A and B are shown apart, each in its own frame.
Chain A
Amino acid sequence: MSIQTPEAPTTLPPTAAPDTANRSRRSVFVRRPFFTIALIVAVAYLVAAIFAPQVAPFDPVQQDFNVMMQPPTVGHLFGTDSYGQDILSRVIYGARFALIIGIFAVLIGAAGGLVIGLAAGLSGGGSEWALMRLIDAILALPSLILAVAFIAILGQGVDKVVIAVGLSMIGPFARTVRGDVLQVRVQLFIEAAQLMSIPYLRVVWRHVLPNVIFPLAVQVTIRISEAILVSSSLSFLGIGVTPPTPDWGLMIAEGRDFVSFAPWMSAMPGFALALLLIALTIVGDGIREEFDPKLRKDP
């Protein structure tokens, strides 16, 4: 069985990368208004995450049993939860955890995918076939299920979630990297370098890697939203980060039990998560369409 990507692997011919900046067309931001808005939203989340202590009105884990489960008021714009913690502050700190987990997990996944993908793409023969079947096997498990399995071994906590989500994303990265390597491998300059008996590792370092890294970087930005979704799913299932960490998934899960009389407990972190995911998806789509020559309509 072979598993193919629904989306085309993002690849660029070696010359295209520096060119894109020079294209004398209207700026991306003018051509893609939705992309621009989504990017502003994403940057706003990033700013809120970095300056959370300055922005948040309360300590995210400060419990106040006098104001439990209050609906949104002027004092607590997003209301309070069942421990009297300020939801707005927890949502703002939550952006911190979401982005940290998302970015680091994707980096782990990309690094692992790079190694396996390079090995599969460069080895050839029987070991390439075996590595491909290994990638197929990883891809046979959806990332959340894989992450659940890793969590089962690693245990819970922010660092464990980062590792589990990162490992679970290796499969798709490995597949893209291998695809890119195959494209480079058939190009003439690789053969020429081999004919000139340049050491193999140096060919990989100088010629293969640069052609793989750029599309990989595009993939990384696209998949951050997936990593955030998987990590918050883990927390929602109750097996990710542990309370009282201000994690959106955890907050949504806590609010679920009170949905009939305190719907804001789930809704506020939920909309924070949904908005970020939608923004990141639009940003990702935009980046893919801008940088993937196969998707670009007007060359």
Chain B
Amino acid sequence: MLLQALGKIAQTLVVLFFVSVASFGLLKLAPGDPIQIMLGSEYSQESYDSLKTELGLDQPFLVQYADWAVRFVQGDWGTSYVARAEIFTYAFKEALPVTLTLASFSLAFAILIGVPLGVLSAVKKDTIFDAGSAVLALTGTAFPSFLLGILLIWFFAVKLQLFPVMGYVSPWENFWLGIYHMILPGLTLSTYFIAMITRLTRATLIEVMEQPYITAARARGEPSWRVVWVHGVRNIAMPLVTILGLQLGVLLQGTVLTETVFNLPGIGQMLTSAVLGREYLVVQAGVMMTAALFIGVNLLVDLSYPFLDPRLRARK
């Protein structure tokens, strides 16, 4: 089992390597000569050449890549001119916490609403409730989140004035105010996931409820709530976690849009302003962070299988 886990970790590192090569290549493909940009409009050929040597840009691609990778791993990501800060500090200390707060808040929201909704649909299979939640789930998966965000702002913040229109307060500094500011963005981002989790929970639970061990649990007198919530729901954990891991990308790209709708200073805003400001180093950092997050979480999902399903543990 340990060997299997090590194999998965090695494979993950290879994928990360590919991503890093690609995002380094991205930087090379970017229009404009970095040396020209650094030297300004007037410079001599000598100063151009010496800067080129100094920056290592006369080296072959792979050497340049290795050089870059070492610096990247050490946290030397360059400087953002727009944010007037070290990209590493900016990305990790300012942008990432916002994105992670939003993402985890939405995920918690989605699980807390989606799983019970899916369980109810499965238990009340083929009733009006089930049909209604199916329609909601379809709409929820297809509805563009940024539009939903604007509608929520219009209704809850402008019409009812229940929530702030936009802005971010860190829940680490002021917990309740932070949560308060997260409710509308969280709802916006989680709608897709509520819908998806509802559909998935319903489908997998219906399958699980047909298993003999469910009948056996009923036969030994387990009350129906225990049969559903203890014996049924425990066995949908694995497919649920798998799909959530694979859909993390959708969550991350959703944060980009939601951050723009609600003016939250996260990775998404960092990326869009970097594109508009032509800051390729920042774009690269955002791409690397997103990929690393996705790959890392899916590695965790893979490694969590033996804990979710005892059958995958080694025989005693």
Contacts and interface: CB of A to CB of B under 8 A. Distances in A.
The reply, when asked whether chain A contacts chain B directly with Cβ atoms under 8 A, is yes
Contact of B287 (A3, A149, A260, A263): A149
A52 B290 CA distance: 39
Contact of B253 (A5, A143, A152): A143
Interface in A3-54: 3-6
Interface string B282-313: 01001100110011001100100000000000
Given A140-B19, A153-B29, A237-B256, A3 B271 contact: no
Given A3-B298, A141-B290, A143-B253, A152 B274 contact: yes
A155 B32 CA distance: 12
A133 B294 contact: no
User: What is the size category of the interface that chain A forms with chain B?
Assistant: 35 or more
A55 interface: no
Given A148-B283, A266-B147, A142 B257 contact: no
A229 interface: yes
B66 interface: no
B271 A145 contact: yes
B104 interface: no
B272 A145 contact: no
B14 interface: yes
Contacts of A143: 249, 253
A259 B19 contact: no
A134 interface: yes
A142 B252 CA distance: 7
A221 interface: no
A134 B226 CA distance: 45
A142 B250 contact: yes
A6 B246 contact: yes
A137 B141 contact: no
A136 interface: yes
Interface in B179-203: none
Nearest to B149: A256
Contacts, number: 155
B144 interface: yes
Contacts of A4: 242, 246
Given A237-B257, A263-B154, A278-B138, A273 B275 contact: no
A145 B253 contact: yes
Contact of B286 (A145, A232, A236): A145
Interface of A: 1-6, 133-134, 136-137, 139-145, 148-149, 151-153, 155, 225, 229, 232-233, 236-239, 249, 252, 255-256, 259-260, 263, 266-267, 270-271, 273-274, 277-278, 280-282
Given A1-B302, A134-B18, A145-B252, 12 more contacts: A1-B298, A2-B11, A142-B253, A149-B26, A152-B283, A153-B30, A233-B256, A238-B272, A239-B272, A256-B261, A267-B150, A274-B142
